[in-house]
Chain A
Protein backbone atom coordinates (compact mmCIF):
# COMPACT_ATOMS: atom_id res chain seq x y z
CA UNK A 1 0.00 0.00 0.00
CA UNK A 2 1.34 3.38 -0.94
CA UNK A 3 0.48 6.56 0.91
CA UNK A 4 -0.46 9.01 -1.83
CA UNK A 5 -1.45 12.68 -1.69
CA UNK A 6 -5.07 11.66 -1.17
CA UNK A 7 -4.16 10.35 2.27
CA UNK A 8 -2.57 13.65 3.18
CA UNK A 9 -5.61 15.55 2.01
CA UNK A 10 -7.82 13.30 4.12
CA UNK A 11 -5.58 13.91 7.12
CA UNK A 12 -5.75 17.64 6.41
CA UNK A 13 -9.54 17.49 6.27
CA UNK A 14 -9.56 15.70 9.63
CA UNK A 15 -7.22 18.29 11.18
CA UNK A 16 -9.33 21.12 9.79
CA UNK A 17 -12.48 19.56 11.24
CA UNK A 18 -10.83 19.10 14.63
CA UNK A 19 -9.82 22.75 14.58
CA UNK A 20 -13.28 23.94 13.52
CA UNK A 21 -15.03 21.81 16.15
CA UNK A 22 -12.57 22.97 18.81
CA UNK A 23 -13.30 26.55 17.79
CA UNK A 24 -16.99 25.92 18.40
CA UNK A 25 -16.84 24.00 21.68
CA UNK A 26 -13.85 25.43 23.57
CA UNK A 27 -14.27 28.63 25.58
CA UNK A 28 -10.70 29.69 26.33
CA UNK A 29 -9.55 32.35 23.89
CA UNK A 30 -6.01 30.90 23.74
CA UNK A 31 -7.27 27.41 22.97
CA UNK A 32 -9.65 28.83 20.33
CA UNK A 33 -6.71 30.61 18.80
CA UNK A 34 -4.71 27.37 18.75
CA UNK A 35 -7.64 25.76 16.93
CA UNK A 36 -7.40 28.46 14.26
CA UNK A 37 -3.69 27.71 13.90
CA UNK A 38 -4.54 24.02 13.51
CA UNK A 39 -6.99 24.92 10.74
CA UNK A 40 -4.35 27.00 8.95
CA UNK A 41 -1.85 24.14 9.16
CA UNK A 42 -4.45 21.81 7.68
CA UNK A 43 -4.71 24.31 4.83
CA UNK A 44 -0.92 24.16 4.37
CA UNK A 45 -0.97 20.39 4.26
CA UNK A 46 -3.73 20.50 1.64
CA UNK A 47 -1.75 22.97 -0.48
CA UNK A 48 1.40 20.84 -0.34
CA UNK A 49 -0.41 17.58 -1.02
CA UNK A 50 -2.42 19.02 -3.90
CA UNK A 51 0.64 20.72 -5.37
CA UNK A 52 2.57 17.48 -5.20
CA UNK A 53 -0.24 15.51 -6.80
CA UNK A 54 -0.71 18.06 -9.59
CA UNK A 55 3.00 18.53 -10.19
CA UNK A 56 2.90 22.30 -9.78
CA UNK A 57 4.83 24.54 -7.42
CA UNK A 58 1.86 26.86 -6.79
CA UNK A 59 0.79 24.81 -3.79
CA UNK A 60 4.15 24.94 -2.07
CA UNK A 61 4.52 28.66 -2.71
CA UNK A 62 1.06 29.38 -1.30
CA UNK A 63 2.14 27.79 1.99
CA UNK A 64 4.63 30.61 2.53
CA UNK A 65 1.89 33.19 2.17
CA UNK A 66 -0.35 31.34 4.60
CA UNK A 67 2.53 31.07 7.09
CA UNK A 68 3.24 34.80 6.91
CA UNK A 69 -0.42 35.65 7.40
CA UNK A 70 -0.66 33.22 10.32
CA UNK A 71 2.36 34.90 11.94
CA UNK A 72 0.77 38.33 11.52
CA UNK A 73 -2.43 37.01 13.07
CA UNK A 74 -0.47 35.64 16.04
CA UNK A 75 1.08 39.05 16.69
CA UNK A 76 -2.23 40.89 16.69
CA UNK A 77 -4.25 38.11 18.28
CA UNK A 78 -1.97 37.53 21.26
CA UNK A 79 -1.82 41.29 21.88
CA UNK A 80 -5.62 41.45 21.98
CA UNK A 81 -5.86 38.39 24.23
CA UNK A 82 -3.27 39.86 26.62
CA UNK A 83 -5.15 43.18 26.70
CA UNK A 84 -8.38 41.34 27.56
CA UNK A 85 -6.60 39.23 30.16
CA UNK A 86 -5.10 42.29 31.84
CA UNK A 87 -8.48 43.96 32.15
CA UNK A 88 -10.33 40.90 33.41
CA UNK A 89 -7.78 38.32 34.65
CA UNK A 90 -9.48 35.70 32.50
CA UNK A 91 -9.22 34.57 28.91
CA UNK A 92 -12.58 32.79 28.83
CA UNK A 93 -14.88 34.12 26.15
CA UNK A 94 -17.89 33.35 28.38
CA UNK A 95 -16.82 36.24 30.60
CA UNK A 96 -17.00 38.59 27.62
CA UNK A 97 -20.65 39.42 27.90
CA UNK A 98 -20.93 43.17 28.14
CA UNK A 99 -22.04 43.42 24.54
CA UNK A 100 -25.34 41.74 23.86
CA UNK A 101 -28.89 42.51 22.91
Chain B
Protein backbone atom coordinates (compact mmCIF):
# COMPACT_ATOMS: atom_id res chain seq x y z
CA UNK B 1 0.00 0.00 0.00
CA UNK B 2 1.34 3.38 -0.99
CA UNK B 3 0.70 6.31 1.27
CA UNK B 4 0.61 9.77 -0.31
CA UNK B 5 3.44 12.05 0.68
CA UNK B 6 2.44 14.13 3.67
CA UNK B 7 4.14 17.47 3.95
CA UNK B 8 2.80 19.57 6.80
CA UNK B 9 5.21 22.32 5.83
CA UNK B 10 3.29 22.86 2.59
CA UNK B 11 0.03 23.65 4.40
CA UNK B 12 1.39 25.04 7.69
CA UNK B 13 0.02 28.59 7.12
CA UNK B 14 -3.46 27.24 6.47
CA UNK B 15 -3.24 25.09 9.60
CA UNK B 16 -2.33 28.22 11.59
CA UNK B 17 -5.38 30.04 10.22
CA UNK B 18 -7.74 27.14 10.95
CA UNK B 19 -6.28 26.86 14.46
CA UNK B 20 -6.96 30.57 14.90
CA UNK B 21 -10.57 30.17 13.75
CA UNK B 22 -11.16 27.21 16.10
CA UNK B 23 -9.46 29.04 18.97
CA UNK B 24 -11.71 32.07 18.47
CA UNK B 25 -14.87 29.98 18.60
CA UNK B 26 -13.78 27.98 21.67
CA UNK B 27 -12.42 30.95 23.61
CA UNK B 28 -15.65 32.79 22.87
CA UNK B 29 -17.80 29.93 24.15
CA UNK B 30 -15.75 29.41 27.30
CA UNK B 31 -14.84 32.91 28.47
CA UNK B 32 -16.96 35.35 26.44
CA UNK B 33 -14.05 37.76 26.20
CA UNK B 34 -14.03 41.31 24.88
CA UNK B 35 -14.03 41.53 21.07
CA UNK B 36 -10.54 42.97 21.28
CA UNK B 37 -9.21 39.62 22.60
CA UNK B 38 -10.72 37.87 19.59
CA UNK B 39 -9.11 40.46 17.34
CA UNK B 40 -5.81 39.62 19.00
CA UNK B 41 -6.26 35.95 18.12
CA UNK B 42 -6.99 36.93 14.50
CA UNK B 43 -3.83 39.03 14.43
CA UNK B 44 -1.82 36.17 15.94
CA UNK B 45 -3.15 33.67 13.40
CA UNK B 46 -2.54 35.99 10.45
CA UNK B 47 0.96 36.93 11.60
CA UNK B 48 1.98 33.32 12.23
CA UNK B 49 0.58 32.31 8.84
CA UNK B 50 2.62 35.12 7.27
CA UNK B 51 5.79 34.07 9.10
CA UNK B 52 5.27 30.45 8.02
CA UNK B 53 4.74 31.66 4.45
CA UNK B 54 8.05 33.55 4.57
CA UNK B 55 9.66 30.31 5.71
CA UNK B 56 8.07 28.47 2.78
CA UNK B 57 9.31 31.13 0.36
CA UNK B 58 12.86 30.77 1.62
CA UNK B 59 12.65 26.98 1.53
CA UNK B 60 11.72 27.05 -2.15
CA UNK B 61 15.10 27.80 -3.62
CA UNK B 62 14.37 28.60 -7.23
CA UNK B 63 11.32 30.27 -8.79
CA UNK B 64 10.24 27.19 -10.71
CA UNK B 65 10.63 24.88 -7.72
CA UNK B 66 7.41 22.88 -7.31
CA UNK B 67 6.49 19.77 -5.38
CA UNK B 68 3.02 18.29 -5.18
CA UNK B 69 2.56 16.64 -1.78
CA UNK B 70 -0.63 14.96 -0.54
CA UNK B 71 -0.91 12.71 -3.57
CA UNK B 72 -0.63 15.56 -6.08
CA UNK B 73 -3.35 17.66 -4.44
CA UNK B 74 -1.33 20.62 -3.16
CA UNK B 75 1.15 22.68 -5.15
CA UNK B 76 4.04 23.75 -2.97
CA UNK B 77 5.49 26.55 -5.06
CA UNK B 78 6.16 30.26 -4.85
CA UNK B 79 3.02 31.36 -6.68
CA UNK B 80 0.80 29.89 -3.97
CA UNK B 81 2.96 31.54 -1.29
CA UNK B 82 2.68 34.88 -3.08
CA UNK B 83 -1.10 34.50 -3.38
CA UNK B 84 -1.28 33.72 0.33
CA UNK B 85 0.69 36.86 1.19
CA UNK B 86 -1.81 38.97 -0.71
CA UNK B 87 -4.74 37.15 0.93
CA UNK B 88 -3.31 37.57 4.43
CA UNK B 89 -2.73 41.27 3.82
CA UNK B 90 -6.28 41.66 2.56
CA UNK B 91 -7.71 39.73 5.52
CA UNK B 92 -5.74 41.77 8.07
CA UNK B 93 -6.70 45.03 6.38
CA UNK B 94 -10.32 43.94 6.06
CA UNK B 95 -10.64 43.14 9.76
CA UNK B 96 -8.83 46.35 10.75
CA UNK B 97 -10.91 48.48 8.39
CA UNK B 98 -14.21 46.96 9.49
CA UNK B 99 -13.37 46.75 13.18
CA UNK B 100 -16.33 48.87 14.24
CA UNK B 101 -18.68 46.30 12.68
CA UNK B 102 -17.13 43.46 14.66
CA UNK B 103 -17.43 45.47 17.88
CA UNK B 104 -21.07 46.18 17.12
CA UNK B 105 -21.84 42.53 16.36
CA UNK B 106 -21.30 41.72 20.06
CA UNK B 107 -21.62 38.02 20.69
CA UNK B 108 -21.66 37.26 16.98
CA UNK B 109 -18.22 38.86 16.45
CA UNK B 110 -16.52 35.52 17.12
CA UNK B 111 -18.46 33.84 14.31
CA UNK B 112 -17.71 36.69 11.91
CA UNK B 113 -13.99 36.73 12.69
CA UNK B 114 -13.74 32.93 12.46
CA UNK B 115 -15.52 33.08 9.09
CA UNK B 116 -13.06 35.69 7.83
CA UNK B 117 -10.18 33.35 8.73
CA UNK B 118 -11.91 30.31 7.19
CA UNK B 119 -12.67 32.21 3.99
CA UNK B 120 -8.99 33.14 3.83
CA UNK B 121 -8.09 29.45 4.21
CA UNK B 122 -10.50 28.50 1.41
CA UNK B 123 -9.16 31.05 -1.06
CA UNK B 124 -5.61 30.20 -0.05
CA UNK B 125 -6.27 26.56 -0.92
CA UNK B 126 -7.76 27.67 -4.22
CA UNK B 127 -4.41 29.27 -4.99
CA UNK B 128 -2.25 26.43 -3.72
CA UNK B 129 -4.15 23.45 -5.18
CA UNK B 130 -3.11 21.70 -8.32
CA UNK B 131 -5.99 19.24 -8.42
CA UNK B 132 -9.44 20.25 -9.66
CA UNK B 133 -11.40 18.65 -6.81
CA UNK B 134 -9.14 20.38 -4.27
CA UNK B 135 -9.65 23.70 -6.06
CA UNK B 136 -13.41 23.09 -5.85
CA UNK B 137 -13.16 22.43 -2.11
CA UNK B 138 -11.19 25.63 -1.58
CA UNK B 139 -13.70 27.55 -3.67
CA UNK B 140 -16.58 26.23 -1.58
CA UNK B 141 -14.92 26.76 1.80
CA UNK B 142 -14.28 30.37 0.80
CA UNK B 143 -17.64 30.99 -0.84
CA UNK B 144 -19.82 29.43 1.85
CA UNK B 145 -18.01 31.52 4.49
CA UNK B 146 -18.72 34.62 2.42
CA UNK B 147 -22.44 33.78 2.04
CA UNK B 148 -22.74 33.79 5.82
CA UNK B 149 -20.63 36.93 6.21
CA UNK B 150 -22.90 38.76 3.73
CA UNK B 151 -25.86 38.05 6.00
CA UNK B 152 -24.11 38.42 9.35
CA UNK B 153 -26.23 41.45 10.32
CA UNK B 154 -29.36 39.44 9.67
CA UNK B 155 -31.79 41.76 11.43
CA UNK B 156 -31.30 44.20 8.57
CA UNK B 157 -33.44 43.05 5.65
CA UNK B 158 -30.88 44.30 3.11
CA UNK B 159 -28.25 42.04 4.63
CA UNK B 160 -30.21 38.80 4.36
CA UNK B 161 -31.37 39.81 0.88
CA UNK B 162 -27.71 40.18 -0.13
CA UNK B 163 -26.89 36.84 1.50
CA UNK B 164 -29.73 35.10 -0.37
CA UNK B 165 -28.75 36.57 -3.75
CA UNK B 166 -25.09 35.78 -3.18
CA UNK B 167 -25.91 32.26 -2.05
CA UNK B 168 -28.24 31.38 -4.95
CA UNK B 169 -26.01 32.80 -7.70
CA UNK B 170 -22.81 31.64 -6.00
CA UNK B 171 -23.98 28.03 -5.65
CA UNK B 172 -25.24 28.13 -9.23
CA UNK B 173 -21.75 29.21 -10.30
CA UNK B 174 -20.15 26.50 -8.18
CA UNK B 175 -22.39 23.87 -9.78
CA UNK B 176 -21.43 25.14 -13.23
CA UNK B 177 -17.76 25.03 -12.26
CA UNK B 178 -17.84 21.48 -10.93
CA UNK B 179 -19.80 20.29 -13.98
CA UNK B 180 -17.03 21.78 -16.08
CA UNK B 181 -14.52 19.88 -13.93
CA UNK B 182 -16.49 16.66 -14.47
CA UNK B 183 -16.46 17.19 -18.24
CA UNK B 184 -12.72 17.90 -18.36
CA UNK B 185 -12.32 14.70 -16.35
CA UNK B 186 -14.43 12.87 -18.90
CA UNK B 187 -12.31 14.36 -21.68
CA UNK B 188 -8.88 13.65 -20.22
CA UNK B 189 -9.37 10.96 -17.59
CA UNK B 190 -7.40 13.07 -15.10
CA UNK B 191 -8.27 15.51 -12.34
CA UNK B 192 -4.75 16.62 -11.44
CA UNK B 193 -3.77 19.63 -13.54
CA UNK B 194 -0.30 18.30 -14.32
CA UNK B 195 -1.85 14.98 -15.35
CA UNK B 196 -4.25 16.76 -17.69
CA UNK B 197 -1.36 18.69 -19.20
CA UNK B 198 0.64 15.49 -19.71
CA UNK B 199 -2.40 13.83 -21.31
CA UNK B 200 -2.97 16.74 -23.69
CA UNK B 201 0.72 16.86 -24.62
CA UNK B 202 0.80 13.13 -25.35
CA UNK B 203 -2.48 12.75 -27.24
CA UNK B 204 -4.12 14.32 -30.23
CA UNK B 205 -7.80 14.78 -29.46
CA UNK B 206 -10.00 13.68 -32.30
CA UNK B 207 -13.20 14.69 -30.56
CA UNK B 208 -12.37 17.53 -28.15
CA UNK B 209 -15.98 18.75 -27.79
CA UNK B 210 -16.56 17.42 -24.26
CA UNK B 211 -13.25 18.82 -23.05
CA UNK B 212 -13.89 22.23 -24.64
CA UNK B 213 -17.39 22.49 -23.15
CA UNK B 214 -15.91 21.53 -19.78
CA UNK B 215 -13.21 24.18 -20.05
CA UNK B 216 -15.80 26.79 -21.05
CA UNK B 217 -17.95 25.91 -18.01
CA UNK B 218 -14.89 26.15 -15.73
CA UNK B 219 -14.20 29.65 -17.09
CA UNK B 220 -17.87 30.60 -16.60
CA UNK B 221 -17.91 29.31 -13.02
CA UNK B 222 -14.79 31.23 -12.07
CA UNK B 223 -16.03 34.25 -14.05
CA UNK B 224 -18.93 34.41 -11.59
CA UNK B 225 -16.55 34.45 -8.64
CA UNK B 226 -14.43 37.30 -10.02
CA UNK B 227 -17.60 39.12 -11.23
CA UNK B 228 -16.80 39.32 -14.93
CA UNK B 229 -19.58 40.27 -17.38
CA UNK B 230 -22.03 38.61 -18.14
CA UNK B 231 -21.78 36.86 -14.76
CA UNK B 232 -21.52 40.02 -12.64
CA UNK B 233 -25.16 40.70 -11.76
CA UNK B 234 -24.80 39.60 -8.14
CA UNK B 235 -21.89 41.89 -7.33
CA UNK B 236 -23.60 45.31 -6.99
CA UNK B 237 -26.47 43.96 -4.88
CA UNK B 238 -24.19 41.97 -2.61
CA UNK B 239 -21.67 44.79 -2.17
CA UNK B 240 -24.50 47.17 -1.32
CA UNK B 241 -26.48 44.90 0.97
CA UNK B 242 -23.72 43.19 2.93
CA UNK B 243 -22.41 45.07 5.99
CA UNK B 244 -19.84 47.63 4.83
CA UNK B 245 -17.25 46.42 7.33
CA UNK B 246 -16.71 43.08 5.57
CA UNK B 247 -17.50 43.93 1.95
CA UNK B 248 -13.92 44.94 1.19
CA UNK B 249 -12.57 41.60 2.35
CA UNK B 250 -15.37 39.69 0.60
CA UNK B 251 -14.78 41.39 -2.73
CA UNK B 252 -10.99 41.22 -2.59
CA UNK B 253 -10.79 37.63 -1.28
CA UNK B 254 -13.17 36.27 -3.93
CA UNK B 255 -11.23 38.06 -6.69
CA UNK B 256 -7.85 36.76 -5.49
CA UNK B 257 -9.11 33.19 -5.11
CA UNK B 258 -10.96 33.22 -8.42
CA UNK B 259 -8.04 34.58 -10.42
CA UNK B 260 -5.54 32.31 -8.67
CA UNK B 261 -7.59 29.25 -9.65
CA UNK B 262 -8.33 30.53 -13.16
CA UNK B 263 -4.69 31.26 -13.95
CA UNK B 264 -3.55 28.00 -12.37
CA UNK B 265 -6.02 25.93 -14.41
CA UNK B 266 -5.49 27.72 -17.71
CA UNK B 267 -1.71 28.07 -17.48
CA UNK B 268 -0.89 24.70 -15.91
CA UNK B 269 -3.34 22.30 -17.52
CA UNK B 270 -4.36 23.92 -20.80
CA UNK B 271 -1.42 25.85 -22.28
CA UNK B 272 -1.72 23.63 -25.36
CA UNK B 273 -5.26 24.92 -25.93
CA UNK B 274 -4.39 28.62 -25.59
CA UNK B 275 -5.84 29.40 -29.01
CA UNK B 276 -9.19 28.01 -27.96
CA UNK B 277 -9.58 29.77 -24.61
CA UNK B 278 -7.71 33.03 -25.13
CA UNK B 279 -10.27 34.45 -27.58
CA UNK B 280 -13.15 33.58 -25.22
CA UNK B 281 -11.34 35.17 -22.26
CA UNK B 282 -10.53 38.22 -24.41
CA UNK B 283 -14.20 38.65 -25.30
CA UNK B 284 -15.21 38.39 -21.62
CA UNK B 285 -12.48 40.89 -20.74
CA UNK B 286 -13.58 43.45 -23.33
CA UNK B 287 -17.26 43.22 -22.37
CA UNK B 288 -16.43 43.37 -18.64
CA UNK B 289 -14.33 46.50 -19.09
CA UNK B 290 -16.92 48.27 -21.24
CA UNK B 291 -19.99 47.34 -19.19
CA UNK B 292 -18.24 47.91 -15.87
CA UNK B 293 -17.05 51.39 -16.75
CA UNK B 294 -20.33 52.54 -18.30
CA UNK B 295 -22.49 51.27 -15.44
CA UNK B 296 -20.07 52.63 -12.82
CA UNK B 297 -20.53 56.09 -14.38
CA UNK B 298 -24.27 56.16 -13.71
CA UNK B 299 -24.31 54.89 -10.11
CA UNK B 300 -25.33 57.21 -7.27
CA UNK B 301 -24.34 54.76 -4.56
CA UNK B 302 -20.61 54.60 -3.86
CA UNK B 303 -20.69 50.89 -3.09
CA UNK B 304 -22.47 50.03 -6.33
CA UNK B 305 -19.99 52.28 -8.10
CA UNK B 306 -17.11 50.33 -6.53
CA UNK B 307 -18.83 47.07 -7.49
CA UNK B 308 -19.11 48.03 -11.16
CA UNK B 309 -15.58 49.38 -11.11
CA UNK B 310 -14.62 45.96 -9.72
CA UNK B 311 -16.29 44.39 -12.77
CA UNK B 312 -14.15 46.60 -15.00
CA UNK B 313 -11.02 45.69 -13.02
CA UNK B 314 -11.84 41.98 -13.44
CA UNK B 315 -11.81 42.75 -17.15
CA UNK B 316 -8.45 44.49 -16.92
CA UNK B 317 -6.93 41.51 -15.09
CA UNK B 318 -8.43 39.14 -17.70
CA UNK B 319 -6.64 41.29 -20.29
CA UNK B 320 -3.45 39.96 -18.72
CA UNK B 321 -4.81 36.41 -18.57
CA UNK B 322 -5.27 36.23 -22.36
CA UNK B 323 -1.50 36.65 -22.76
CA UNK B 324 -0.89 33.33 -21.02
CA UNK B 325 1.67 32.38 -18.40
CA UNK B 326 4.10 35.14 -19.42
CA UNK B 327 1.69 37.66 -17.88
CA UNK B 328 1.74 36.02 -14.43
CA UNK B 329 3.92 38.79 -12.96
CA UNK B 330 1.57 41.48 -14.24
CA UNK B 331 -1.56 39.66 -13.09
CA UNK B 332 -0.29 39.22 -9.54
CA UNK B 333 1.02 42.77 -9.34
CA UNK B 334 -2.41 43.98 -10.46
CA UNK B 335 -4.26 41.73 -8.01
CA UNK B 336 -2.03 42.77 -5.10
CA UNK B 337 -2.31 46.52 -5.59
CA UNK B 338 -5.97 46.56 -6.68
CA UNK B 339 -7.25 44.48 -3.78
CA UNK B 340 -5.42 46.75 -1.33
CA UNK B 341 -7.13 49.78 -2.90
CA UNK B 342 -10.46 47.95 -2.85
CA UNK B 343 -10.25 47.07 0.85
CA UNK B 344 -9.15 50.62 1.66
CA UNK B 345 -12.05 52.05 -0.34
CA UNK B 346 -14.63 49.96 1.49
CA UNK B 347 -13.06 50.76 4.86
CA UNK B 348 -13.59 54.44 4.08
CA UNK B 349 -17.17 53.78 2.96
CA UNK B 350 -17.71 51.96 6.27
CA UNK B 351 -16.24 54.86 8.23
CA UNK B 352 -18.32 57.49 6.42
CA UNK B 353 -21.69 55.77 6.09
CA UNK B 354 -21.66 53.33 9.01
CA UNK B 355 -20.06 49.91 9.21
CA UNK B 356 -23.35 47.99 9.31
CA UNK B 357 -25.48 50.17 7.03
CA UNK B 358 -26.35 49.56 3.44
CA UNK B 359 -26.93 53.05 2.08
CA UNK B 360 -23.85 54.86 0.88
CA UNK B 361 -25.18 57.60 -1.40
CA UNK B 362 -22.65 59.83 -3.05
CA UNK B 363 -24.23 62.75 -1.14
CA UNK B 364 -22.92 61.32 2.13
CA UNK B 365 -19.41 62.06 0.88
CA UNK B 366 -20.14 65.74 0.18
CA UNK B 367 -17.51 67.96 1.74
CA UNK B 368 -15.66 65.04 3.29
CA UNK B 369 -12.44 67.02 2.76
CA UNK B 370 -13.50 69.54 5.43
CA UNK B 371 -15.17 67.00 7.73
CA UNK B 372 -12.30 64.53 7.69
CA UNK B 373 -9.29 65.50 5.55
CA UNK B 374 -7.58 62.21 6.41
CA UNK B 375 -10.38 60.02 5.04
CA UNK B 376 -10.83 62.23 1.98
CA UNK B 377 -7.09 62.08 1.28
CA UNK B 378 -6.91 58.30 1.70
CA UNK B 379 -9.98 57.79 -0.49
CA UNK B 380 -8.52 60.10 -3.14
CA UNK B 381 -5.30 58.10 -3.29
CA UNK B 382 -7.22 54.80 -3.48
CA UNK B 383 -9.52 56.11 -6.22
CA UNK B 384 -6.62 57.57 -8.23
CA UNK B 385 -4.88 54.21 -7.86
CA UNK B 386 -7.97 52.41 -9.21
CA UNK B 387 -8.12 54.94 -12.04
CA UNK B 388 -4.50 54.17 -12.88
CA UNK B 389 -3.03 57.67 -12.63
CA UNK B 390 0.77 57.68 -13.16
CA UNK B 391 2.77 57.58 -9.91
CA UNK B 392 0.17 55.32 -8.33
CA UNK B 393 0.49 51.54 -8.25
CA UNK B 394 -2.62 51.24 -10.45
CA UNK B 395 -0.77 52.77 -13.40
CA UNK B 396 2.08 50.26 -13.21
CA UNK B 397 -0.43 47.43 -12.86
CA UNK B 398 -2.49 48.47 -15.90
CA UNK B 399 0.66 49.10 -17.92
CA UNK B 400 1.94 45.59 -17.13
CA UNK B 401 -1.16 43.69 -18.23
CA UNK B 402 -1.66 45.88 -21.30
CA UNK B 403 1.91 45.26 -22.49
CA UNK B 404 1.46 41.50 -22.04
CA UNK B 405 -1.79 41.47 -23.99
CA UNK B 406 -0.29 43.64 -26.77
CA UNK B 407 2.70 41.33 -27.13
CA UNK B 408 0.35 38.34 -27.27
CA UNK B 409 -1.34 39.86 -30.30
CA UNK B 410 -4.50 41.22 -28.70
CA UNK B 411 -4.01 44.81 -29.86
CA UNK B 412 -7.77 45.43 -30.22
CA UNK B 413 -8.36 44.43 -26.60
CA UNK B 414 -5.63 46.77 -25.36
CA UNK B 415 -7.14 49.65 -27.36
CA UNK B 416 -10.58 48.97 -25.85
CA UNK B 417 -9.04 48.75 -22.38
CA UNK B 418 -7.04 51.98 -22.72
CA UNK B 419 -10.06 53.92 -24.03
CA UNK B 420 -12.18 52.52 -21.19
CA UNK B 421 -9.60 53.47 -18.57
CA UNK B 422 -9.71 57.05 -19.87
CA UNK B 423 -13.50 57.08 -19.49
CA UNK B 424 -13.12 55.44 -16.08
CA UNK B 425 -11.28 58.53 -14.84
CA UNK B 426 -14.72 60.16 -14.87
CA UNK B 427 -16.07 57.53 -12.46
CA UNK B 428 -13.42 58.20 -9.84
CA UNK B 429 -13.10 61.95 -10.40
CA UNK B 430 -16.83 62.30 -9.76
CA UNK B 431 -16.38 61.03 -6.20
CA UNK B 432 -13.27 63.16 -5.64
CA UNK B 433 -15.10 66.29 -6.86
CA UNK B 434 -17.99 65.59 -4.49
CA UNK B 435 -15.55 65.16 -1.58
CA UNK B 436 -13.58 68.34 -2.23
CA UNK B 437 -15.91 70.79 -3.96
CA UNK B 438 -19.37 70.20 -2.55
CA UNK B 439 -20.52 71.88 0.67
CA UNK B 440 -20.84 69.39 3.53
CA UNK B 441 -24.37 68.56 4.63
CA UNK B 442 -25.22 68.38 8.32
CA UNK B 443 -23.68 64.92 8.55
CA UNK B 444 -21.67 64.20 11.66
CA UNK B 445 -17.89 64.09 11.18
CA UNK B 446 -16.69 60.66 10.15
CA UNK B 447 -14.17 59.25 12.60
CA UNK B 448 -12.37 56.03 11.65
CA UNK B 449 -11.21 53.64 14.36
CA UNK B 450 -7.51 53.56 15.26
CA UNK B 451 -7.11 50.22 13.47
CA UNK B 452 -8.79 51.57 10.34
CA UNK B 453 -6.59 54.66 10.48
CA UNK B 454 -3.37 52.60 10.48
CA UNK B 455 -4.70 50.32 7.81
CA UNK B 456 -5.56 53.30 5.57
CA UNK B 457 -2.11 54.79 6.13
CA UNK B 458 -0.60 51.46 5.05
CA UNK B 459 -2.84 51.25 1.97
CA UNK B 460 -1.99 54.81 0.95
CA UNK B 461 1.73 54.24 1.39
CA UNK B 462 1.54 50.99 -0.62
CA UNK B 463 -0.43 52.64 -3.43
CA UNK B 464 2.03 55.53 -3.80
CA UNK B 465 5.20 53.56 -3.03
CA UNK B 466 4.55 50.86 -5.64
CA UNK B 467 3.57 53.59 -8.09
CA UNK B 468 6.89 55.38 -7.71
CA UNK B 469 9.08 52.34 -7.01
CA UNK B 470 7.28 49.29 -8.44
CA UNK B 471 10.44 47.28 -8.99
CA UNK B 472 10.65 45.44 -5.62
CA UNK B 473 7.12 44.08 -5.91
CA UNK B 474 7.60 43.28 -9.59
CA UNK B 475 10.79 41.39 -8.76
CA UNK B 476 8.97 39.53 -6.00
CA UNK B 477 6.22 38.49 -8.41
CA UNK B 478 8.77 37.62 -11.10
CA UNK B 479 10.69 35.45 -8.64
CA UNK B 480 7.51 33.58 -7.86
CA UNK B 481 7.33 31.63 -11.08
CA UNK B 482 9.37 30.60 -14.06
CA UNK B 483 8.46 30.57 -17.72
- Most chain B C-beta atoms within 10 Å of own C-beta, residue among A32, A72, A96: A96
Among B147, B154, B175, point to the contact of A40 (Cβ < 8 A).
B175
Which chain A positions have C-beta within 8 A of B154? 83
Task: Assess whether A77 is in contact with B158, with CB atoms less than 8 Å apart.
Answer: no
Q: How would residues 74 to 98 of chain A score, 1 for a CB under 8 Å from any chain B CB and 0 otherwise? A: 0011001101100110000100101
Which residues, 149 to 172 on B, are CB-close (under 8 Å) to A? 151, 154, 157-158, 160-165, 167-168, 171-172
Min CB–CB distance B343 → chain A (angstroms): 21
Residue of B nearest to A91 (CB): B164
Q: How would residues 176 to 195 of chain B score, 1 for a CB under 8 Å from any chain A CB and 0 otherwise? A: 10110111011001110000
CA distance A81 to B171 in the complex (A): 14
Interface of A is mostly: helix
Residue of A nearest to B137 (CB): A65
Q: A58-B191, A65-B133, A83-B151 are in contact. Are A72 and B144 (CB under 8 A)?
A: yes
Residue of A nearest to B154 (CB): A83
Task: Assess whether B151 is in contact with A16, with CB atoms less than 8 Å apart.
Answer: no
CA distance A80 to B163 in the complex (A): 7
Which chain B positions have C-beta within 8 A of A19? 175
Min CB–CB distance B14 → chain A (angstroms): 17
Min CB–CB distance B54 → chain A (angstroms): 31
Task: Assess whether A39 is in contact with B299, with CB atoms less than 8 Å apart.
Answer: no
CA distance A13 to B136 in the complex (A): 20
User: What total of chain B residues lie within 8 Å of the partner, measured CB to CB?
Assistant: 43
Residue of A nearest to B171 (CB): A36
Q: A39-B179, A40-B178 are in contact. Are A73 and B144 (CB under 8 A)?
A: yes
Task: Assess whether A98 is in contact with B179, with CB atoms less than 8 Å apart.
Answer: no
CA distance A80 to B236 in the complex (A): 19
Min CB–CB distance A20 → chain B (angstroms): 8
B300 interface residue (CB < 8 Å to A): yes
Task: Assess whether B178 is in contact with A36, with CB atoms less than 8 Å apart.
Answer: no
Q: A46-B182, A65-B136, A80-B151 are in contact. Are A98 and B157 (CB under 8 A)?
A: yes
Task: Assess whether B237 is in contact with A29, with CB atoms less than 8 Å apart.
Answer: no
Task: Assess whether A76 is in contact with B178, with CB atoms less than 8 Å apart.
Answer: no
B246 interface residue (CB < 8 Å to A): no
Task: Assess whether A80 is in contact with B178, with CB atoms less than 8 Å apart.
Answer: no
Task: Assess whether A101 is in contact with B300, with CB atoms less than 8 Å apart.
Answer: yes
Which chain A positions have C-beta within 8 A of B160? 80, 83-84, 87
B400 interface residue (CB < 8 Å to A): no
Task: Assess whether A76 is in contact with B189, with CB atoms less than 8 Å apart.
Answer: no
Q: A23-B172, A42-B179, A96-B165 are in contact. Are A101 and B236 (CB under 8 A)?
A: yes
CA distance A69 to B138 in the complex (A): 10
Residue of A nearest to B173 (CB): A36
Task: Assess whether B178 is in contact with A99, with CB atoms less than 8 Å apart.
Answer: no
Q: A98-B158, A99-B241 are in contact. Are A33 and B168 (CB under 8 A)?
A: yes
Residue of A nearest to B186 (CB): A50
Min CB–CB distance A35 → chain B (angstroms): 8
Residue of A nearest to B159 (CB): A83
CA distance A51 to B190 in the complex (A): 10
CA distance A39 to B478 in the complex (A): 40
Can you list 21 residue pairs at the A/B interface with Cβ under 8 Å?
A9-B186, A20-B172, A29-B164, A29-B168, A32-B168, A39-B172, A39-B175, A51-B185, A62-B181, A76-B144, A76-B147, A76-B167, A77-B168, A80-B167, A83-B151, A87-B157, A96-B164, A98-B241, A99-B158, A101-B240, A101-B299
Query: CB within 8 Å of B: which residues of A?
Result: 9, 16, 19-20, 23, 29, 32-33, 36, 39-40, 42-43, 46-47, 49-51, 53-54, 56, 58-59, 62, 65-66, 69, 72-73, 76-77, 80-81, 83-84, 87-88, 93, 96, 98-101
Task: List 16 additional A-B contacts (Cβ < 8 Å) besides A96-B164, A96-B165, A100-B237.
Answer: A20-B176, A47-B182, A54-B186, A58-B185, A73-B140, A73-B171, A73-B174, A76-B147, A77-B171, A80-B151, A80-B163, A98-B158, A98-B241, A99-B158, A99-B165, A101-B240
